[in-house]
Amino acid sequence: MQDTKPSSPVVIPRPDHIISRANISPNALKVLYRLKQAGFQGHLVGGGVRDLLLGREPKDFDVATDATPEQVREVFRNCRLIGRRFRLAHVHFGREIIEVATFRGTSDDPEDQDRRLENGMIIRDNVYGNIEDDAIRRDFTVNALYYNVEDFSVLDFTGGMADIAAGRLRLIGDAEQRYREDPVRMLRAVRFATKLGFSIDESCERPIHELGGLLHGVPAARLFEEVLKLFHSGYGLEAFEKLRHYGLFARMFPETEETLSHEEQDFPITFVSRGLDNTDRRIREGKPVTPAFLFAVLLWEPVRRHAQRLEREGQAPLAAVQQAGSEVLSRQQDHVTVPKRFSLQMREIWSLQTRLESRRGKRPHRLITHPRFRAGYDFLLLRAEAGEADTELAQWWTQFQEANGDERGHMTRSESEAPTRRRRRGGRRRRKKPAAGD
């Protein structure tokens, strides 16, 4: 990172920016004022300030202070200290948490246990400093703006206001070094560019193509959280396209990327795109989404192809899907860890795709009461829309849910003894053109 420090910030007085206390969480204001009363500095910082300056409603509010985490805990009885890599204070107000971070500093002492790097990557960082140090330690200029509650001004140490005006995402310091310190910053660049509609500055964009392999050094559990932030943002489809453009998606989902590269203009990319678009719509409409469905979509094509190979070797369809799902998930854990509570649901969604092909007798009546039926049915609809599953099968299950008891009985009795025809894809077969409105 660059050694130069800003000598003093550009101060944007209250008349020259649009931030109003009316748009700031009352609990965040309580934290700022109480820190001030206790003799400490307290500034709103990060994404909250950035979003307020863009006229957006912040998702959360973060505070930066010269008080140590232990001092923050003395000021707030409703405080809990978290983290070892980065020590933070969480001040709880019911369901709302205000995150309070001590100003970060710098240390060149290799023996300093409060700041540890391995191969250029930050492993631990609890060196404290002043607000100037803290500003240049942040990742992007648009996230290094400080709202001062004392005079309602905004402090800009790194040119963040100009970058907001230009719609530009720019790292503070040398881009390659900052990515090496924390490779997740490459994912954050994609996420912020997608969310804000900003362009990534060329100096920050170029190294992403070269340094994507650094993600392999990031704990797979941490990448799970980053994937959720990318794909549960309401802009997941656009994030997916950018990740593929920079070669980052392949680093996290190598088996999926391998299958996507075979049929770029056809299934399976259509299926993944429809799944992400469906998730985006649900988020924008305020409907619930689950990581299990997201990851089931992202990993379905590797599972489906492996299951087909197992069937050709003599496995029964359901057993083949179950074995393929377990093996694909096991390999995926080396890249992005999926917690067990979600991986179990994913297996159920995948298994239901085979079970939903049974439409005779009592099986449909039992399946419709399955706790994962709705997710499995929605998954089937996506497959049908993408041309990978029979549209008629999806329509039958739609009608079955809407039918009354007598009608359901008639539907299951009228089904032929012959099993539903299962569509198999091979090579580069083109899917049928979807009907209007699909």
Per-residue confidence in pLDDT tens, the chain, 438 aa: 444 455 589 999 999 999 999 999 999 999 999 999 999 999 999 999 999 999 999 999 999 999 999 999 999 999 999 987 688 999 999 999 999 999 998 755 444 444 444 554 444 456 899 999 999 999 999 999 999 999 999 999 999 999 999 999 999 999 999 999 999 999 999 999 999 999 999 999 999 999 999 999 999 999 999 999 999 999 999 999 999 999 999 999 999 999 998 764 456 788 999 999 999 999 999 999 999 999 999 999 999 999 999 999 999 999 999 999 999 999 999 999 999 999 999 999 999 999 999 998 999 999 999 999 999 999 999 999 999 999 999 999 999 999 998 999 999 987 654 454 454 444 444 444 444 443
Please give the Cα distance from 279 to 114 (Å, whole number).
Answer: 41
Q: Is 60 a residue of the active site?
A: yes
8 Å CB contact between 143 and 158: no
Question: What is the CATH number for 306?
Answer: 1.10.3090.10
Same domain, 263 and 391: yes
Final residue of a domain: which of 131, 147, 170? 170
300 token code pair: 């379905």
* Catalytic position from the list 51, 62, 134, 163: 62
Asked if residue 295 and residue 404 are part of one domain, the reply reads yes
259 and 166 fall within a common domain? no
- Quote the CA–CA distance of 94 and 98 in Å, as a whole number: 11
The residue among 299, 296, 303 whose CA lies nearest residue 345 is 296
Number of domain units in the chain:
2
Residue 3 annotated as catalytic: no
260 in the same domain as 166:
no
**Is 139 labeled as catalytic in the residue annotation?**
yes
* Two tokens, residue 149: 């509650």
Same-domain pairing of 166 and 258:
no
Q: Is the domain of 126 the same as that of 275?
A: no
* Residue 326 within any structural domain of the chain: yes
**Domain boundary residue among 139, 170, 201?**
170
User: Mapped to the 3 state alphabet, what secondary structure does 101-126 carry?
Assistant: EECECCCCCCCCCCEEEECCEEEEEC
User: How far is Cα 40 from Cα 145, in angstroms, rounded to an integer?
Assistant: 19
CATH number of the CATH domain containing 131: 3.30.460.10
Task: Using the CB atoms, write b or e for 99-137: b if 16+ within 10 Å.
Answer: bbbbbbbeeeeeeeeebeeeeebeebbbbbbebbbbbbb
Q: Is residue 179 part of a domain?
A: no
**H-type alpha helices, 12-58:** 26-37, 47-53
Written as six digits, the tokens of 80 are: 């809990």
- Domain span at residue 141 reads 10-170
Residue 124 within any structural domain of the chain: yes
Q: Which of 239, 241, 248 has the alpha carbon at shortest distance from 216?
A: 248
Q: Is residue 151 located within the same domain as residue 274?
A: no
**Catalytic position from the list 51, 139, 201, 280:** 139
Q: Are residues 147 and 263 in the same domain?
A: no
Question: Is the residue at 242 inside a domain?
Answer: no
